Amino acid sequence: MHILDDLRFRGLLYQVTEEEELVKRLDEGSISLYIGFDPTADSLHVGSLLPILGLRRFQLAGHKPIPLVGGGTGLIGDPSGKTTERSLNPVEVIDAWTQKIRLQLEQFLDFDTKVNPARMVNNYQWLGNVGLINFLRDIGKHFTVSYMLGKDAVKTRLESGISFTEFSYMILQSYDFLQLYENYHCEMQAGGSDQWGNIVSGIDLIRKVCGGKAYGLTFPLVTKADGTKFGKTEGGTIWLDAEKTSPYQFYQFWINSDDADVVKYIKYFTFLSHGEIMDLEEEVSKRPEKRTAQRVLASEVTDLVHGKEARMKAEKISHALFYGNIKDLAEDEMEQALRDVPSAEVRDKRELDVLELLILCGASSSKRQAREDIRSGAIYINDQNVNDQQKVLSPEDRLFGKYLVVRRGKKKYFLIKWF
């Protein structure tokens, strides 16, 4: 299937310049395309997965992806999607973040194939040394203020205020495209739909400066059916870095997808065939209570980002937590499972009264409530139901010599770290 037809089936083809001409160009042979990733943190997040996998889809279709890390533009800040000015970070911070993001991008693309290898670039290579006078004379003259004011990224910021620094971002990104076109034979830029104005500006600049032909394509911004922001949970942003978001947390993010969103996410974030996707869509329609599609989605995306072994651990942790066999977990698995649950520390105690413990970790609000919770059979410690209100715990009760795991009801966990 043609790459554009596949993107259209998946709902990923949001905007495209001169589609008929682009189809012809893609049919003629391999094309180089780029997507930029600015280092705004020390890790990419799940929102970045859509464009990353977009590059991968094009590479699998025989084209040459160029992931661009914005070591230069990251020093400026893209106004797109923002209502206030970004904080400017020091050069050394941006450089460190750039290196981490390069490593993350490398795991998704093939840089070693002889046919259509990916190529990593950093726009600081040309932006870091560009002279202001030459830049204004050679590049700035092609942009009118009225043209720039007409772009959505700028228009939405006029009332709240936009500095000249962020106002200039469009010109810098357009210059990126020109540099890649002239030096890397890159004919196409892709990105999120919020980048449309910047992409079109780059295409115009290539035409004006060297009479070249270039193309642009955008993917939709990911939304949730309930109106809440994609990629956010009560615990915060879902990162691709396992140190910031554990594979278990990552897996849970996807498995908790709403029925109204899950098929869309499968289309966006997996490489399942069209037939497999349609089968899962039917499964969601007829047997949503089985949550088959959610399990497939969580498995596929966790495999992509963290690998099969991490995904299998995440599944093991999920089973332990939701079916009450926490003792089956290894120490690192338990720590991963309980990373974000309410916790408390106990030091230098020989014994711990169960009522005191429940109040300490937040499982119960008072001794009266703690007694009622025990009486109703709602309290478990290390998977054992507690029915004795006078129970006293000793250091020998700890898991791995330092933990007591408290569960209230079926899913509410608390952790006591006892040193």
Specify if 171 maps to a domain: yes
Specify if 383 maps to a domain: yes
Question: How many other C-beta atoms lie within 10 A of the C-beta of residue 53?
Answer: 22
Model pLDDT for residues 260-317, shown as the tens digit of each residue? 999 999 999 999 999 999 999 999 999 999 999 999 999 999 999 999 999 999 999 9
Specify if 364 maps to a domain: yes
CA distance linking residue 187 with residue 184, whole number of Å: 9
Q: Say whether both 186 and 242 belong to one domain.
A: no
Q: Say whether both 375 and 313 belong to one domain.
A: no
Q: Say whether both 314 and 204 belong to one domain.
A: no
Please identify, among 188, 219, 250, the residue that sits at the C-terminal boundary of a domain.
219
CA distance linking residue 417 with residue 395, whole number of Å: 11
**Which residue carries 């009801």 as its tokens?**
409
In the structure encoding, which two tokens stand for residue 303, read together? Answer: 């495999």
Q: Say whether both 200 and 236 belong to one domain.
A: no
Given this model, what pLDDT does residue 324 score? Answer: 64
Q: Say whether both 44 and 149 belong to one domain.
A: yes
Model pLDDT for residues 353-401, shown as the tens digit of each residue? 999 999 999 999 999 999 999 999 999 999 899 999 999 999 899 999 8
Q: Say whether both 287 and 348 belong to one domain.
A: no
CA distance linking residue 18 with residue 379, whole number of Å: 63
- Contacts of residue 8, defined as CB under 8 A and 6 or more positions apart, other chains included, come to none
DSSP string for residues in 366-400: SHHHHHHHHHTT-EEETTEEP--TT-EE-GGG-BT
Q: Name the strands in the sheet holding 379-381, side by side, starting at the edge strand that comes first in the sequence.
A: 343-346, 412-418, 403-408, 379-381, 384-385
In the structure encoding, which two tokens stand for residue 58, read together? Answer: 């094009």
DSSP H or E segment with residue 49: helix 46-60
Q: What is the mean pLDDT of the chain?
A: 92
| DSSP SS3 for 212 | coil
CA distance linking residue 44 with residue 37, whole number of Å: 8
| DSSP SS3 for 156 | coil
The DSSP symbol for 140 reads G
User: For the chain, how many structural domains are there in total?
Assistant: 3
Please identify, among 195, 219, 243, the residue that sits at the C-terminal boundary of a domain.
219
- Contacts of residue 87, defined as CB under 8 A and 6 or more positions apart, other chains included, come to none
**Which residue carries 């009225």 as its tokens?**
146
CA distance linking residue 175 with residue 78, whole number of Å: 14
Please identify, among 193, 219, 245, the residue that sits at the C-terminal boundary of a domain.
219
Beta-bridge partners for 66: 34
Model pLDDT for residues 157-167, shown as the tens digit of each residue? 787 788 888 88
CA distance linking residue 414 with residue 19, whole number of Å: 55
Q: Say whether both 39 and 77 belong to one domain.
A: yes
Given this model, what pLDDT does residue 159 score? Answer: 77
Q: Say whether both 179 and 113 belong to one domain.
A: yes
Q: CA quadruple 276, 282, 284, 287: dihedral positive or negative? A: negative
Q: Say whether both 64 and 119 belong to one domain.
A: yes
Specify if 330 maps to a domain: no
| DSSP SS3 for 258 | coil
> String of b and e for 329-365 (b: at least 16 CB within 10 Å)?
beeebbebbbebbebbebeeeeebbbbbbbbbbebbe
- The pairing of strands 343-346 and 412-418 is parallel
Specify if 22 maps to a domain: yes
- Ranges under pLDDT 70 in the chain: 81, 83, 324
Specify if 334 maps to a domain: no
Q: Are 78 and 116 in contact (CB under 8 A)?
A: no
pTM higher than 0.75, yes or no? yes
Q: Say whether both 154 and 34 belong to one domain.
A: yes
Specify if 224 maps to a domain: no
The CATH number that applies at residue 16 is: 3.40.50.620
Given this model, what pLDDT does residue 191 score? Answer: 96
In 234-307, where does DSSP find H-type helix?
247-255, 259-269, 274-286, 292-306
The CATH number that applies at residue 261 is: 1.10.240.10
In the structure encoding, which two tokens stand for residue 293, read together? Answer: 């599609």
Q: Which domain holds residue 367?
A: 343-418
Specify if 175 maps to a domain: yes
Q: Say whether both 281 and 359 belong to one domain.
A: no
Given this model, what pLDDT does residue 139 score? Answer: 94
The CATH number that applies at residue 352 is: 3.10.290.10
